[in-house]
Amino acid sequence: MIARFFTGLLLIIWTTSSSLPAQHASGDIPPMRLSNTPGRAFGAELTVTSRGQVLATWSHVEDSTEEVFFRRSSDGGKTFSPMYQLSKTPDGFSLYSSIAATDRGKIYVAWARSAAQESPAIMLRSSRLGGLLFSEPRCVSLLNSFPPEPKVVAGPQGFVGVVWTESTGSAFELYFTRSADGGHTFTSPALLERRYRILHQRAILNQQGTIHVVWAGRDPGEGRTNVIFLSRSTDGGLTFSTPVRLTSATAVDTIPAYPQVAASGEAVYVAWTDVRSGQIQLRRSQDNGLTFDPPLTVAPQSGASPFGLGISESGTVYLAYFANGAFEVIRSENGGGTFEPVRRLPGVSQVSGEGLRMAVGSRELMYLLWVSGSGHGVRTFFARVDGQVTP
């Protein structure tokens, strides 16, 4: 598939995926299990540090327990450390983990905890030793409702930000809090949105220090149609812009959901799945999120989700999605103006939950994390894909 933007015109040329190479390239790592114990894994999250460490977290349900686990790789995903349990909630559950790392290698993991005789809360642990050891859990914020699905971002000079949702009766609220001392203390939560029912929020911090938060929201007065929103902060989370709609609430034939966001320099990319058609659409900004180009359909076939979105050091935009028993990988080497097929990796039985997580590291290597299985056999899987292979 090749898609191009022209002034006032969107031209899309489709090619079939059968032309994509399916063989493993030199930089590939075939799918491997990261969770091996009985039970059900969900909520997998992934990041790759500037030092090349691969960091993964997920929640695991076994019997009546739900806990957050962590694994790390120091050799680009070839091998991983043993499973490390970050949470201990014998009289409750911990879930919906999120992970971030700074350029200097400090790691932060946030999750939601609900325990007997305690108020539900967002918890945080950090590591200065590349994940070898973690600090004791700290409370980021107490909660009025559960689960909040927290997302964490981290930057230089001890900056940590956490965004999450809460429901208060008929209202759904999106909150943000920040720390300037490496997660030891946090500001009072700031309200970002309260009108819409908020779903599937994501957050990133770009090189300039801009925080971009995206989410799918549903207005009770506008039926069942979701709207994708973006809000940004250019002052380290002290203030946020008025949320901008990236999809139309009047498009009743579409249900946009599961947004992903990636940024590099002044470029910002937001993609989402149309639940009804299975198509994946993307909008790009070339001015740090002030304005966006028209939507571009980058995965046209039905059932082309879940997906992951990422940007390499060279500025190449990668998007990987699950369709017809395989991961399809497409890329743009001109800032999202055109996309072309890169790889097809067959042999993936299914992708469960909210889908695929992707991070792009050095040498155009893509790191993929997902959960797959059924019943008590849902596992976390990892693979690495060499993006330098061309069709």
Distances 257 to 198, 199, 216 between C-alpha atoms, Å: 11, 8, 6
Question: 234-266, pLDDT tens digit by residue?
Answer: 999 999 999 999 997 555 556 788 899 999 999
Q: CA 370, 373, 379, 384 torsion: positive or negative?
A: negative
Q: What are phi and psi of 264, to 5 degrees?
A: -155, 120
CB 382 within 8 A of CB 32: yes
Question: 84-140, pLDDT tens digit by residue?
Answer: 999 999 889 999 999 999 988 999 999 999 988 888 999 999 999 999 999 999 999
Question: 157-178, pLDDT tens digit by residue?
Answer: 999 999 999 987 666 889 999 9
What is the model's pTM?
0.90
CB 301 within 8 A of CB 308: no
pLDDT reading at 341 higher than 80: yes
> What pLDDT shows up at residue 203?
96
> What pLDDT shows up at residue 187?
97
